[in-house]
Amino acid sequence: MEQKNSDETSGISSKDYLIALGIVLECLTIYLFLVNKVSIIGVLLPLIVAGVAVTITGLALRDFFRQHK
């Protein structure tokens, strides 16, 4: 019933665990910033989010046009 896929069978890579660890660390950092009232977060965080979003959007558009040349 299931279509096996090479990536699925290869399992979780160390990179995936690193990202998961990154998520935990991000939670902890933001928590500490909020609880300790560190104001710089109000400028830094939206800038980071916007930077990441611009990069991801650019890559997604590139992939779309490559796939549909």
Partner 1 sequence: MVENWHVLDWLAVALYLGTMIFVGWYVARKVKNSTDFLMAGRSLTYPMVVATLAATWYGSGAVFGTAQLAYTSGIAAFIVWCIPAHLGRIPLALWVAPKVRGLKETTIPALLGRLYAKPVAILGALLILCFSTRIMDIVSVGFMGYTVTGLPNWITGAVIVGVVIVYSLFGGLWSVVMTDVLQFLLMTTLTLLLLVPVWNLVGGFDGLSATIPAEHFRPTGDMTIGQMLIFFLLGFQVYADPAAYQRFGASNNAGTARRAYLTCLLIWLAFDTVITMLGLCARSLYPELIEQPNIAFLTMAIDNLPPFLTGLYMCSILAVIMSTMSSFYLVGATTMTVDLVKPLFMPHMNDKQQITLTRLFMVVIGLCGVLMAFQFKTVLDAVIFLGGLYLASAFAPVLGGLFWKGRLTVAGGFCSMLVGMGVTIVWKFILGTPFGVNAMLVALPASIAFFFIGNMFGEDIRTRTANAPVSK
Q: How many residues bind partner 1 (CB under 8 A)?
A: 48
Interaction between residue 57 and partner 1 (CB under 8 A): yes
Cα 34–chain centre separation: 21
The candidate with the shortest Cα–Cα distance to 52, out of 26, 32, 29, 28, is: 26
Interaction between residue 32 and partner 1 (CB under 8 A): no
Burial of 33 (C-beta count, 10 Å sphere; 0-12/13-18/19+): middle
Interaction between residue 24 and partner 1 (CB under 8 A): yes
In the complex, the residues that contact partner 1 under the rule CB under 8 A are: 1-8, 10, 12-13, 15-16, 19-20, 22-24, 26-27, 30-31, 34-35, 37-39, 41-43, 45-50, 52-54, 56-57, 59-61, 63-64, 67-68
